[in-house]
Amino acid sequence: MDKHETLKKIKTEKIIFVGGSNISFGLDSKKIAAEFNKPVINMGVHAGMGLEFIMNDVKSYIHKGDVVVLVPEYENFYTDNFYGEMELVSVLFDVDPSGRNLVDWKQWQHLLKYMPTYAAKKIKNYIASPFQKQDLAREIDIYDRRSFNEYGDAYIHWALPDQNYLPAKKNKGDEKIDTYVISFIKDFKNYTESKGATLVLLPPVIESQSYDNQANIIDQITVSLISNSISFSVEPNKYRFSFEYFFNSYYHLNKKGVDKRTQLVIDDLSGKVNR
């Protein structure tokens, strides 16, 4: 909701970053805004929101002259992540009920499997709430809304030491590209252009071992996009970073990684953003 309010206040041409947490945990938007002398808003959220909802959610804020930078995590193309998980259910019922208008029947069918767990969690929290002590002085969690700056970047973790994490699992070889995802992105591109805006599709930053483990499916994604007249603006391996640049996930950058990735993004947007 905070990011929506920021978007509403911007009345000039702007740069909007759209994607999951590889974006929210991976940019210094202030530097990008200074480079292009334009407002920048990082709309990156938890990947569990589903890229379908994330893209639908930003549509009404796209206007003439905007540059929309879409950066999808690879799992969106061959798993159900694209349609959302428990995080999306929680937002639709606890945070922003108006978002239900953006969910079609197919997506609701997918989300139904999360409803029993969601309901059980609500009941458990209701029963436990009178016995829970409120710690008003607790630290700001890295996923807390207060950990995001005015540009929409998660930044609290910039000052924290790196944490252990596992690389992405190696692809089995039988993964299939979801053609609906490809067509949805193509439709999103057409919608963006119909508003007089520009869509730039960038590959996500990803840790090197994880990239290698998913190399086969990444190649398939790249080919599928190209065959549908949409493609990443640069080769995916440009955003294959070594482990030292990551914080707590193969998609979440530490400050050193944020600085490196931000400069690459600036380079890749040069010529696509009017200065």
Residues paired with 206 in a beta bridge: 240
What are 95-122's pLDDT values in tens digits? 889 999 999 999 999 999 999 998 888 7
- CB under 8 Å to 272, separation ≥6 — which residues? 67, 198, 200, 233
Report d(CA 48, CA 247) in Å as an integer.
19
Residues 6+ apart with CB under 8 A from 99: 53, 57, 91, 92
What confidence tens digit (pLDDT) does each residue in 167-198 have? 999 999 899 999 999 999 999 999 999 999 99
| CB distance 236 to 218 below 8 Å | yes
Look at residue 140 in the predicted model and tell me its pLDDT: 42
pLDDT 10s digits, 21-68 = 999 999 999 999 999 999 999 999 888 899 999 999 999 999 999 999
Summary count for the chain: helices (H), strands (E): 11, 8
Phi-psi region of 46 (alpha: psi -120 to 50; beta: other; left: phi over 0): beta
Residue 125 has pLDDT above 90, yes or no: no
Determine the Cα–Cα distance for residues 227 and 27; give it in Å rounded to an integer. Answer: 30
Of the candidates 101, 90, 97, which has an alpha carbon nearest to the alpha carbon of residue 59?
A: 101
Distance CA 26, CA 200 (A): 17
Residue with tokens 């699992």: 169
Q: How far is CA 148 from the centre of its chain?
A: 14
Q: Is the pLDDT of residue 131 over 60?
A: no
Handedness of CA 3, 81, 185, 223 (dihedral sign): positive
Cα separation, 251 vs 237, in Å, equals 14
pLDDT of 129 higher than 70: no
What's the average model confidence in pLDDT over 65-79? 97
Name the residue type at position 248: N
DSSP notation for 67-117:
EEEEE--GGGGTSGGGG--HHHHHIIIII-GGGGGG--HHHHHHHGGGHHH
Q: Are 88 and 220 in contact (CB under 8 A)?
A: no
Domains identified in the chain and CATH numbers? 2-82+146-269 (3.40.50.1110)
> Which of 102, 67, 62, 81 is CA-nearest to residue 20?
81
Higher-scoring residue by pLDDT: 19, 3:
19
